[in-house]
Amino acid sequence: MDNLVLSFALIGFLGIGAQWLAWRMHLPAIVLMAMAGIIVGPGLGLINPEQDFGEFYHPMIAVAVAIILFEGGLQLKFEEIRGSISEGVWRLVFPGVPIAWALGAIAAHYAAGLSWPVAVLFAGILIVTGPTVILPLLRQARLSHRPSALLKWEGIINDPIGALLAVIVYEYVTYDAGAHTTFEIAGSLILGSVMSIVWGIVLGRFTASAFNLGWVPEYLKPPVLLSVVLICFVAANMLQEEAGLLAVTAMGVTMANSKLPSINELRHFKENIAVLFVSGVFVILTASLSRETIVEALSWQTFWFVAAMLFVVRPLAIMISTMGSDLSLQERLLTAWIAPRGIVAVAISGFFAGVLAEAGFEEAERMVPLAFAIVFATVVLHGFTIAPIGKWLGLASKAKPGFLIIGSSDWAVAFAKRIQEFGAPVMIADDRWAALRPARQANVPTYFGEILSEVTEYHLDLNEFGYLVALGDNEAHNSLVCTDLAPELGRAKIFQINNAMPSENERRSVARTLKGRVFMKTGPTLNELKQRHRDGWFFQKTRVTEEYTAEQYMADLHNGEPVLLQRKGVIIVASQEQPLQPEKGDVVLAFVPPDIEEQRERRRDKEAKAAQEIVERKERAIADIKPEPAG
């Protein structure tokens, strides 16, 4: 294609379009992006990135991979790896990573036919299990906390480690060994790698300090950060070839653990940039494949390599590395099977395939189709089997589906406290730290951050929640949250407070099809609920029995309203679309006025008085009947 701008536009359209289509169809985005690239590249021949971009091809891939790795490092917060899973996670890193690396290199050499240098580098890349792929699988399977957290954090931690190993191997195999001893080469590589990592740490700390001291205004922080990342990458590459990948990863991890107040905003910006680069890289890499390479990727040699990685390398590495740990046999077996590869593995493979080929390792070009074969196989096989295997091993979560409440307020906190009495987990999420203070004081679990951010997937386990109640004061944001999470939780379990505009302004309200179910039968607004709470309204839990029937209970509520009920262990939330109909044995939670007992007493007195009047009327009627005269 002669028009370079048109090439860029087509790649961007296909990449983002594939991501959108994957979201709409609930399919892995990586598969659709790869298919898009194959169709417009070797399929239709519309673009040939290596020819179209010429000398800019490899630098573009390098910068994209650097941004992706920095964004991945920005997710790795060490203080969040704690509790009962920390030992298991670190076991998967050491000795798990060296074992998987060694076994993977053997498989790549003997099964895939790669030379030892390329096989060792490729095996280092394939230890990355892809957090962007594993997280949707974990939500789908609803695993219990320990195995879910174990798989999630393995993917996050191994992201930068895979890049580190690939860089070290690349430096070693491309080093001019003719005039140097092995000891000199190793010493030079270690020194260069350490200096690159230290450079990334120093630059990360400097940038974090500059942000904390207010040297950079808020609106300039994202572009300044992007510029510093690129400087970090280029400077480290000048120090040692391709060591920039180590430096930017170290910089990302450093900033993630620097307690930056604005870290969430920076993550939002970086994840948006990363999505653009990921989309572009996938389309470019697949479009660059030749038809011969694709045919070769479908060979028996590739099949045996994929089988060895799935059924030999991963199980052996996990079972050996977790031997003697506190992980149960079931947890070890599940972890030994589930290891989907994703974006980082393919992106880094594409980058090193090019530079290794230029260095004289021609078979390195096979890394990209082999990486795609691993990705397709693991995404499909693990995606379809994680849920049934989790249930078979007894690792599927048996806890009651929890409540995720979006938007903190005094009313939301009081509601959350009463939900806990039903034995269901509950969490209040808000991106305003001050708004979460009442929840923290009431010991209700909280999440501080934007719930719509992709970063939330790394820091909030959505598997615990079966219900979402959007109680924010912004109707558009509530609707967007409901639309975004409805595919995961199910539209029937998504509820939204009524923030609708007055009827004369309905054209400015969010479309009904984009909203969740209207919370509570009468659809009170958030301001109405807050005012009632200030006026002394409270939550009351009542069991419906044979003696105290549902009809009597509903009559006693007067202007109070049921919010939810528990029936045979299942919680049902009230909505306009599905008003609650209590039955015998149900436990009902209602929001009632402070004079509810007085109203009930008045009703009982009235009913008693009416009953007494009926009795008296009957007695008077009997007394008025005169006996018939005899004979």
pLDDT tens sequence across 497-553: 987 654 444 555 666 666 788 999 888 999 999 999 999 899 999 899 888 888 888
Q: Is 99 left (phi over 0), alpha (psi -120 to 50) or beta?
A: alpha
pLDDT tens sequence across 569-615: 889 999 988 888 899 999 999 998 888 766 666 666 666 677 777 77
Phi, psi at residue 536, to the nearest 5°?
Answer: 105, 5
Stretch 122-150: mean pLDDT? 79
Helix (H, G, I), strand (E, B) or coil at 601: helix
Residue 275: its pLDDT value, please? 74
Residue 180: its pLDDT value, please? 62
Inform me whether the pLDDT recorded for 1 exceeds 50: no
Residue 491: its pLDDT value, please? 80
Pick 189 or 576 by higher pLDDT: 576
pLDDT band of 150, cuts 50, 70, 90: confident
Pick 169 or 264 by higher pLDDT: 169
Are the C-beta atoms of 114 and 122 separated by less than 8 Å? yes
Q: Which of 196-210, 511-525, 617-631 has the lowest mean pLDDT?
A: 617-631
Cα distance from N-terminal residue to C-terminal residue, the chain: 124
Residue 268: its pLDDT value, please? 65
Q: Cα 520 to the chain's mean position, in Å?
A: 29
Residue 504: its pLDDT value, please? 41
Inform me whether the pLDDT recorded for 314 exceeds 80: yes
Dist. CA 551–CA 251, nearest whole Å: 64
Q: Following DSSP, what letter does each residue of 223-273 receive, concatenated?
A: HHHHHHHHHHHHHHHHHSTTTHHHHHHHHHHHHHTS--TTHHHHHHHHHHH
Helix (H, G, I), strand (E, B) or coil at 204: helix
Phi, psi at residue 555, to the nearest 5°?
Answer: -70, -35
Pick 30 or 386 by higher pLDDT: 386
Looking up tokens 């007195």 gives 605
pLDDT tens sequence across 18-51: 888 877 776 667 778 878 888 888 888 888 887 8
pLDDT tens sequence across 430-467: 989 899 999 999 999 999 988 887 667 667 777 778 89
Average pLDDT over the chain reads 82
Domain boundaries, the chain: 4-392, 402-594
pLDDT band of 558, cuts 50, 70, 90: confident
Q: Tell me the H-state helices in 39-130.
A: 49-53, 57-73, 86-93, 96-110, 116-125
Peptide bond into 95 cis (omega under 30): yes
Residue 449: its pLDDT value, please? 86
Pick 532 or 166 by higher pLDDT: 532
Inform me whether the pLDDT recorded for 618 exceeds 80: no
108 contacts: CB under 8 Å, gap ≥ 6: 114, 118, 119, 120, 122, 123, 126, 305, 370
**Helix (H), strand (E) at residue 468:** strand 465-470
pTM, two decimals, is 0.67
9 contacts: CB under 8 Å, gap ≥ 6: none
Stretch 148-153: mean pLDDT? 83
Q: What is the dihedral of CA 579, 581, 585, 589, to 10 degrees?
A: 40
Pick the CATH number of 4-392 from 2.60.40.10, 1.20.1530.20, 3.40.47.10, 2.40.10.220: 1.20.1530.20
Stretch 174-185: mean pLDDT? 64
pLDDT band of 405, cuts 50, 70, 90: very high
Please tell me which of 77-81, 102-106, 280-284, 487-491 the model is most confident about, judged by mean pLDDT. Answer: 102-106
Are the C-beta atoms of 347 and 102 separated by less than 8 Å? no
- What tokens appear for 511 in the block? 């479309």
Classified by CATH at the fold level, domain 402-594 comes out as: Rossmann fold (3.40.50)
pLDDT band of 237, cuts 50, 70, 90: confident
Strands 570-573, 561-567: pairing kind: antiparallel
Helix (H, G, I), strand (E, B) or coil at 341: coil
Buried b (16+ CB within 10 A) or exposed e, 96-120: bbebbbebbbbbbbebbbbeebbbb
Q: Cα 440 to the chain's mean position, in Å?
A: 24
Residue 26: its pLDDT value, please? 66
Residue 2: its pLDDT value, please? 55
- What tokens appear for 418 in the block? 């009463």
